[in-house]
Amino acid sequence: MTMFEDIVGLPAQLRWGIGRDVPGLPPDRPVVLLGMGGSAMAARIAVLDARPRVPVLVHSSYGLPPWAVGHGAAILAVSYSGNTEEVLSGVDEAVDAGLPVVGVTSGGRLAGRSAAAGFPLVDVPGGMQPRAGVGYQAAAIAAVLCASGHIADADTDVSEAADVLDGLLDGGDGPAVRAGRELAGLLGDRTAVIYGGYGVGAAAAYRWKTQINENAKRPAYAGTVPEMNHNELEAWHAVRSGPFGVVSLRDEYDHPKIGARLDLMQTVLGGKVAHVGEVRSVGAAPMARFFSLTAVGDVASVALAEADGIDPTPVATLETFKTMLAKGTP
């Protein structure tokens, strides 16, 4: 399948997780989700829907947070390939410390660790790039968090997200597809800068950034409002020409001041950088609103790749880097 077909298939990925019987984690322990790249993005999507009674956070590095063992954390390890070395290092540390662990993977060494240590797994369909399989992973993680008491009704939230995406993608010719291609055309050769409000919008902006990075093989940048109004905004004063294009992501549930800030930013940046456009969220639960914002960015990233004559699926530089790292090549 092509990357565009994978995007259009996101509603089916999400529905795969509805009604699935999955293991839970102890509900009274803080939860650490281990993940990198597309798997970490899936974890962040699911966490948006959580209303936990204990801390629930995503750890994207080696090992575990320094406090995890001492506080008896529960570990949800997410690695689409099953071979992510940062995640595996955290799993090993958790197993050695006797912490409860659940894995989400399509196989690889994480499945082997599960068999050896006896912790449960949620098996997701494999054969895709991790970023393309984000729907499978997000649905699986949401189900585990629901079984652990941290999401009230994961099936309802996942179903809404799938329904919203169905309407926006419409088999490859929906409004999100048209908007994504239009925004890609307006961006042209500009470097994309995506801003969203704290929470859903900021998470979606980061997904836009990473999709442009991996699919279009271009630099892109994401920022969070209001935080960037206290630092990054000042840097735009030095911009004298227009190599950048700003996209604003607006979530209906943003604090009212977020919208006012995004409006005012267009005035402040006027004449220095092109405001290419904006995307507004659809849906009620955070997961649906997230995917409604990112569907447009997913399509835009593929359209940018197509415009440059690039196949968006392979990530040769990342794979070469992993090989060099494994061999210890300086």
Mark whether 93 and 220 lie in a shared domain: no
The total domain count for the chain is 2
Mark whether 179 and 97 lie in a shared domain: no
What is the structure's pLDDT at 90?
98
Per-residue pLDDT band for 315 (boundaries 50, 70, 90) equals very high
Mark whether 273 and 181 lie in a shared domain: yes
What is the distance between the alpha carbons of residues 173 and 171, in angstroms, rounded to a whole number?
Answer: 6
Q: Is 230 a catalytic residue?
A: yes
Catalytic residue among 182, 230, 234, 252: 230
Per-residue pLDDT band for 284 (boundaries 50, 70, 90) equals very high
Domain boundary among 110, 128, 161: 161
Mark whether 132 and 8 lie in a shared domain: yes
pLDDT digits (tens, 9 = 90+) for 155-187: 999 999 999 999 999 999 999 999 999 999 999
Mean pLDDT of the chain: 96
Sequence-distant (≥ 6) Cβ neighbours of residue 316 within 8 angstroms:
none
What is the distance between the alpha carbons of residues 147 and 24, in angstroms, rounded to a whole number?
Answer: 5
Mark whether 148 and 194 lie in a shared domain: no
What is the distance between the alpha carbons of residues 241 and 127, in angstroms, rounded to a whole number?
Answer: 43
Catalytic residue among 86, 209, 214, 217: 214
pLDDT digits (tens, 9 = 90+) for 84-136: 999 999 999 999 999 999 999 999 999 999 999 999 999 999 999 999 999 99
Per-residue pLDDT band for 237 (boundaries 50, 70, 90) equals confident
Q: Which helix (H) or strand (E) holds 278?
A: strand 274-280
Mark whether 129 and 264 lie in a shared domain: no
How confident is the model over 4-33, as a mean pLDDT? 98
- Residue 150 belongs to a domain with what CATH number? 3.40.50.10490
Report if residue 327 sits inside a domain.
no
Domain boundary among 161, 186, 201: 161
Mark whether 79 and 40 lie in a shared domain: yes
How confident is the model over 271-288, as a mean pLDDT? 93
* Residue 308 near residue 216, CB atoms below 8 Å: yes
Q: Is 327 a catalytic residue?
A: no
What is the structure's pLDDT at 269?
87
* Residue 185 near residue 214, CB atoms below 8 Å: no
Report if residue 324 sits inside a domain.
no
pLDDT digits (tens, 9 = 90+) for 51-97: 998 999 999 999 999 999 999 999 999 999 999 999 999 999 999 99
Q: Percent of the chain scored above 90 by pLDDT?
A: 92
Mark whether 184 and 302 lie in a shared domain: yes
What is the structure's pLDDT at 272?
80
Per-residue pLDDT band for 217 (boundaries 50, 70, 90) equals very high
Per-residue pLDDT band for 250 (boundaries 50, 70, 90) equals very high
Report if residue 315 sits inside a domain.
no
Q: Is 214 a catalytic residue?
A: yes
Domain that holds residue 236: 174-307
SS3 assignment, position 192: strand
How confident is the model over 298-313, as a mean pLDDT? 98
What is the structure's pLDDT at 330?
62
